[in-house]
Structure 1
């Protein structure tokens, strides 16, 4: 079941290869292991994608691909998983990461109001930046590992359940 579900949502490998940023990897994209979907490659890709989803940088997909290629995990899933943080989910996810960082650093969580200006960015780096970056790092590691082991578990349970169902079907007398 996880394999069928994942295949429905990940982009086609030709679409990934044509992306101008991913195309920078050239012949490295010809490795067949980057396109196969099995428990090891899916869990690794999911963990990498979730890890980089928590990085507050604009080129998360490229970073995810750069790590997925040498680790030989599923590239489309790794790149697609980064979109957990999209323009709609970024504010609550990054605010949560900021609160985690403030809690870890034992600093009070400051109230702030976002402004689309360079001055606000510079000022925010000084005031909320350390807590935000620590929170992003901790959340990236925690949720990346949770995604990796969680998908391993879900995949294993799904395969086990399928085995049990096949076993029961074979034991039933055919009419």
Structure 2
């Protein structure tokens, strides 16, 4: 089903944008759809989709090259975080990290406090204050969510794949058993 949306192997070989990767890009495991490579691709995509807010797709693609996961699945799986889910994901990550570290949630965040991280990047000292304040629980929460999401994505894909194959085999077996049995004719000379 997914194969029709993926580029052909020849198109990939001819691509000038991918030439710099050399022979590694031609590894068949990066492009085949099978249980192991898809599960690896989902795990890498979900990990980088939840862990880093920028350059998620290139990071997942590089990890895919190294760990031999399906490249396209890894890229698409990063879309677990998108402009619609950033707010809830980062809020949940902050709350999770604050709970793990034991940091109290700030009592009230005024609009000037919300804009503060953007202004704090001016100096390294102010950035450090932000990281030890809001940033540290956020990073811890993001790491926990990324590792948990990648693990669940990997094993969930493996389980889904096995269930799908088992159902397909069960359905084929039922079809074979429900067909009427045809008795082959006996030897030509006998009646």
Same fold (TM over 0.5): yes
Residue by residue over 1:1-49, the C-alpha shift from the partner in whole angstroms, topping out at 9 and shown as x without a partner, is: xxx3xx289754658x9695x6653432111110000000001110111
Name the Cα RMSD after superposition. 2.7
Query: Partners in 1 of 2:85 and 2:176 — Cα distance?
Result: 46
- Candidates 78, 87, 90, aligned match of 2:86: 90
Gaps of 5+ in 1: none
Indicate if the aligned counterparts of 1:37 and 1:74 stay in contact, CA closer than 8 A.
yes
Alignment coverage as a number of residue pairs: 168
- Larger RCO (CA within 8 A; separation ≥ 6): 1
Gaps of 5+ in 2: 122-126, 182-191
When normalised by structure 2's length, the TM-score is 0.76
When normalised by structure 1's length, the TM-score is 0.83
Q: How does 1:1-175 map to 2 (within 5 A)?
A: 4=1, 7=2, 12=7, 24-110=20-106, 111-112=108-109, 113=111, 114-115=114-115, 118-119=118-119, 122=127, 124-174=130-180
Indicate if the aligned counterparts of 2:44 and 2:74 stay in contact, CA closer than 8 A.
yes
Q: Cα–Cα, structure 1 residues 89 and 26, in superposed 2: closer, same or farther, change >3 Å?
A: farther
Indicate if the aligned counterparts of 1:10 and 1:80 stay in contact, CA closer than 8 A.
no
State the shift of 1:69 in Å.
Answer: 0.9
Query: Partners in 2 of 1:172 and 1:125 — Cα distance?
Result: 65
Instruction: Choose 68-77 or 25-34, whichever is displaced more.
Output: 25-34
Query: Partners in 2 of 1:74 and 1:164 — Cα distance?
Result: 28
Greater Rg over alpha carbons, structure? 2
State the shift of 1:106 in Å.
Answer: 1.4
State the shift of 1:119 in Å.
Answer: 1.1
